[in-house]
Amino acid sequence: MSKKKPLILITNDDGITAPGIRALISVMNEIGDVLVVAPDSPQSAKGHAITISETLYCDKITIDADAPQEEYSCSGTPVDCVKMATHEILKRKPDLCVSGVNHGSNAAINVIYSGTMSAAVEAGIEGIPAIGFSLLDYSMQANFEPCKKYIKEIVEQVLANGLQKGVVLNVNIPKLEASEIKGVKICRQANAHWEEEFDKRVSPMGREYYWLTGKFVNEDKGEDTDEWALSQGYVSVVPTQFDLTAHHYIQELNSWEFNKKQ
Amino acid sequence: MSKKKPLILITNDDGITAPGIRALISVMNEIGDVLVVAPDSPQSAKGHAITISETLYCDKITIDADAPQEEYSCSGTPVDCVKMATHEILKRKPDLCVSGVNHGSNAAINVIYSGTMSAAVEAGIEGIPAIGFSLLDYSMQANFEPCKKYIKEIVEQVLANGLQKGVVLNVNIPKLEASEIKGVKICRQANAHWEEEFDKRVSPMGREYYWLTGKFVNEDKGEDTDEWALSQGYVSVVPTQFDLTAHHYIQELNSWEFNKKQ
């Protein structure tokens, strides 16, 4: 690997053969030296799960013999992939970790369920500038071409400016033609939740089981949110942190009557 | 179920038969009407994972025929359990969700990997006041007796005061005799991380595999952190939020040169 180019770690949660990560690899090969460590199978909605009760496999593979990147396929979660890359495969800390491009939105509360974003957060915890990219199209036939310009622009900005320790970027891209995307907006995470409905069925053995399904409900009308920006045709960028402390609430809790009886 | 008593949902990540959840159930039975929906097997470090690619089972079970609570054993993650309880089993929203008592610490960055805390966060997303409890003792023979007084006190305070929407509590309890615990401290999440080491082995079939292991590193010397409070013999209470926006960083990102070329 050459000396001047940044070392870029790539992972995702849709699995190493998903079109989204292949698109991300092609853009990153224009910018740096690329290492891919990604799940061997789909790991959507795995959040920040890590594998501690099972063994992990991690095998070097070749998907495109003509491409310059090294690739490893890992049996674990997206967060496992980041740990495996940084602590087992790489000799030095990468300059950047990018995760995705996810097939589907990770805006609003989806950030918390997302394997894609959890991988970026894990890199952030390890002090690596990190970005998660998602396209608002769940299809495995999604068109990632319009994303590429924005991915490149955002990555170049992060490499030029750095990111404060404790912050990673959550980037979502609307499902639009390149000419229809209006630009980049810095946003906050919209307040939203999922209203679950369980689809109850009976197995051929006569046992009841469920499929988790649900409806996304955005209760936040703010025009500074990621959901709003995406609805207006912008690429949304939310600075995302892993200090989960609700600092504003510490004073309130200190007014409660703890320790009275001791 | 009687009318005046609060309806309390209990879950955990160590599984429905773990001593920690049995201790929590015994305390909650003194306070309210209890529904238990917990994983049928250990789900530690599953973070905010949900089950979308596999089916879920959820069976009513009786562990203690003399006890008043209803119990369901679920094949999914802790977050699945909360969704199953609130959207499939319960007719009305519970007044409180408590998760744990976890066998082991969920202080500092552990909050982000923790199934126990993710269950509490999921309840918080659904607008239910929620608390995750953890004891700093990984042993399945841990002594939960000294915890009980503090669990009761904190639950009573939450029921009396309520919790602001968007905030859940992360409570960690030191492994000490009751007489040695100094009281409750409201804290912020310490900055810390895990330094991974992969234990590489070879299977009987000749294939290399790994076990994830690691060392917890606290780089935060602040005396307002959960790690500090626990080291001094206090029960730590961290208000924890799921708006992950790094609001302080939005201005910085707005100074970057996005949208220049458009």
Q: For residues A123 and A69, give the distance between their C-alpha atoms in angstroms, rounded to a whole number.
A: 19
**What is the least distance, in Å, from the CA of B25 to any CA of chain A?**
22
Is residue B229 domain-resident? yes
Q: Is A63 on the interface with B (CB under 8 A)?
A: no
- Residue A261 CB contacts under 8 Å (≥ 6 apart), including other chains: B153
Polymer length of chain A: 262
Kindly indicate the confidence band of residue A216, based on its pLDDT and cuts at 50, 70 and 90: very high
Question: For residue A184, is the peptide bond before it cis, meaning its omega torsion is within 30 degrees of 0?
Answer: no
In a domain, A212, yes or no: no
Is the pLDDT at A49 greater than 70, yes or no?
A: yes
pLDDT of residue B261: 53
Is B163 a domain residue?
Answer: yes
With contact defined as beta carbons under 8 Å apart, do A16 and A71 qualify? Answer: yes
- Residue B238 touches partner A, C-beta closer than 8 Å: yes
- Residue A1's pLDDT is what? 47
The pLDDT tens digits of the residues spanning B99-112 come to: 999 999 999 999 99
Task: Kindly state whether residue B203 falls inside one of the protein's structural domains.
Answer: no
CATH number where A179 lies: 3.40.1210.10
The C-alpha torsion from B50 through B52 and B57 to B60, rounded to 10°, is 40
Which residues, other chains included, contact A207 with Cβ-Cβ below 8 Å and sequence gap of 6+? B57
Chain A residues close to B240, C-beta within 8 Å: 244-246
Q: What angle do CA A131, A99, A80 make, to 5 degrees?
A: 115
Residues A26 and A68 sit within 8 Å (Cβ to Cβ): no
Give domain status of residue A46, yes or no.
yes
- pTM, full prediction: 0.95
Domain count for chain A: 1
Average pLDDT score over residue span B216-232: 97
CB B131 within 8 A of CB B138: no
What percentage of chain A exceeds 70 in pLDDT?
Answer: 98
Calpha distance A212→B38 (Å, rounded) = 16
CA distance, residue B208 to nearest chain A CA (Å): 7
Chain B residues in contact with A79 (beta carbon < 8 A):
47, 113
Is B196 among the domain residues? Answer: no
> What is the arithmetic mean of pLDDT over A99-106?
97
Is residue B45's pLDDT more than 60? yes
Which residues in chain B have their CB less than 8 angstroms from residue A262's CB? 182-183
A-B Cβ pairs (cutoff 8 Å, strict): 236
Tokens of B96: 């409180």
Picking from A44, A50, A167, A172 by the largest number of B CB atoms within 10 A of its own CB, the best residue to mutate is A50
Is A2 inside a domain boundary? no
> Which A residues, 10 through 49, put their C-beta within 8 Å of a C-beta on chain B?
42, 44-49
The conformation of residue A87, written as its DSSP 8-state character, comes to: I
- Is residue B2 over pLDDT 50? no
Q: Check pLDDT > 60 for residue A262.
A: no
Distance CA A206, CA A208 (A): 7
Q: What share of chain A has pLDDT > 90, as a percent? A: 93
Q: Is residue A109 part of a domain?
A: yes
Find out whether A157 and B257 touch, Cβ atoms under 8 Å.
yes
User: Which pLDDT does position B1 carry in this prediction?
Assistant: 47
Q: CB–CB of B8/B17 below 8 Å? A: no
What would the two tokens of residue A205 be? Answer: 């053995």
How many angstroms away from the CA of B251 is the closest CA of chain A? Answer: 9
Tell me the residue range of the domain where A60 lies: 7-190+223-254
The predicted structure's pLDDT at residue B4:
81
Question: Residue B3's pLDDT band (boundaries 50, 70, 90)?
Answer: low
- B190 CB-near residues (< 8 Å, 6+ apart): B107, B108, B109, B218, B220, B222, B225, B226, B227, B228
- Is the pLDDT at A2 greater than 50, yes or no? no
